[in-house]
Amino acid sequence: MADSLERGRTRVTGFADAEMDFQLIRQMGATRYGGASVGECLALARRIENGVPASWVSAFAAAAARQEADAQQRAARQHAVSAADLYLVACNSYRAAEYYCALSDPRHAEYGMKSRECFLAAIKLHGQPLEIISLPFGDTPLPAYYLLPVKVAAGPQKTLMIVSGYDGTLEETYLAYGKAALERGYHLMLFAGPGQMDTMRFHPQLTFIPDYERIGTLALEHLLARPQADPARVALMGISFGGYFAIRMAAHEPRIRALIANSPIVDLHAYMASFAGFDPAQMPDADDFRLADIDHLPAEAASPQTREMMRNLILRFGCGSFKQTYQRLRDFRVSDAQLADIRCPSLGLAGSGEGQQPLAQYAHFQDRVSGPSAGHLFSDEEGADGHCQSGNLAYSAAVSLDWLDETL
């Protein structure tokens, strides 16, 4: 019998677990701007146990170490372009390992710092102008990057500030929208605040705060002190939970001239409760649990992935228990009065597959801001119906940055 014709052993197969499958799509989406390869992602998926974070961490950490070593060897042989490309892939692989690694695990910060190191190595080899910034937040410096296009135009220029959310990083933000913004001539400021992944690498005790406008003002004043910045053309984008951060900033900062919220989160408690399927803030005290209890929960009550997500949520909001964390989430809200204070042009973005509560907040945001408001609801036909359009970043960038070009 003749052998059947095959062109390779890699198959387009993801995970039965919806969250892990989303994370795989997120990783593969970064291929558009050089943060991954489809073949490697699918090969890794074959070696990861469905819904088991530990197997994901091991697989991506090993891949990242291999990619970093390859980049180092190519750099030593003076292959700068190849080395830079591989460093960028290694950066994003370390980020993927960091994502599923428990915050209490020393490897969490280790993988995060390796992601940062590989990113900076890639940027240097690419010849991309970048400045590492520390924003003074009390006694704690907050991490940020300031980047310029490779070809810098004379005089003050338009600037895009981007803040990510719960689990995004400065490096991933560069891959998702930063590179696209630089290609369009924007100066770029990427920044992070308390509780965010980049900050937790350095200061794991610094948890999320609801009044994020404090961080926004720090970043904005640093930016406007630069002669390259045109005060009339300063825009702000918030990604995921960063949509909440950006909305809070714009409500308090009239110096922001355009706002992009992707997605527009105005009530984090309602948003998170919708994913839980109930409101843990109202659960009986007898059903509540603390960090020490998580590993003792019955297997039928919490999968390995759910355990890690709950553990990290409690730690990053600095609360004593799961119920207390959801009670704390009630503080993360933008009032209608604050939305009315947003008078700059704004663009809300959401994916049609995100669920009822995210889409309701997307509509509420557009209805309640005072300034000119636009929106784009991404569809499955566009391959972008998921959260933050990770399946089609280039199209999301086209929608958001073309709007911004026209607005500024």
Summarize pLDDT for 71-115 with one digit per residue, the tens.
999 999 999 999 999 999 999 999 999 999 989 899 999 999 999
**More confident site: 4 or 160:** 160
Both structure tokens of 167:
């689990």
Phi, psi values for residue 283, rounded to 5° = -70, 150
DSSP E strand boundaries for 138-219: 140-147, 157-163, 187-191
Contact 153, 185 (CB under 8 A): yes
pTM: 0.96
pLDDT tens for 354-400 read: 999 999 999 999 999 999 999 999 999 999 999 999 999 999 999 99
Q: Which residue ranges form the domains of the chain, and what is each CATH number?
A: 11-127 (1.20.1440.110), 129-267+332-408 (3.40.50.1820), 270-329 (no CATH)
Cβ 159 vs Cβ 189: under 8 Å: yes
Residue 408 CA to residue 396 CA, distance in Å, equals 18
pLDDT digits (tens, 9 = 90+) for 166-209: 999 999 999 999 999 999 999 999 999 999 999 999 999 999 99
User: Above 90 in pLDDT, residue 219?
Assistant: yes
The token pair that represents 378 in the structure block: 């991404």
Q: What are the pLDDT digits (tens) for 230-284?
A: 999 999 999 999 999 999 999 999 999 999 999 999 999 999 999 888 999 999 9
* pLDDT above 80 (res 10): no
Q: Name the pLDDT band for 1 (thresholds 50, 70, 90).
A: very low
CA distance 342 to 362: 15
Query: Does a cis peptide bond (omega within 30 degrees of 0) precede residue 263?
Result: yes
User: What local confidence, expressed as pLDDT, does residue 313 receive?
Assistant: 96
- Provide the percentage of residues in the chain whose pLDDT is more than 90: 91
Average pLDDT of the chain to the nearest whole number:
95
- Quick check: 7 pLDDT over 90? no
Q: How confident is the model at residue 5 (pLDDT cuts 50, 70, 90)?
A: low
- Tell me the per-residue pLDDT of 12-71, one tens digit each, with 9 for 90 and over: 888 999 999 999 999 999 999 999 999 999 999 999 999 999 999 999 999 999 999 999
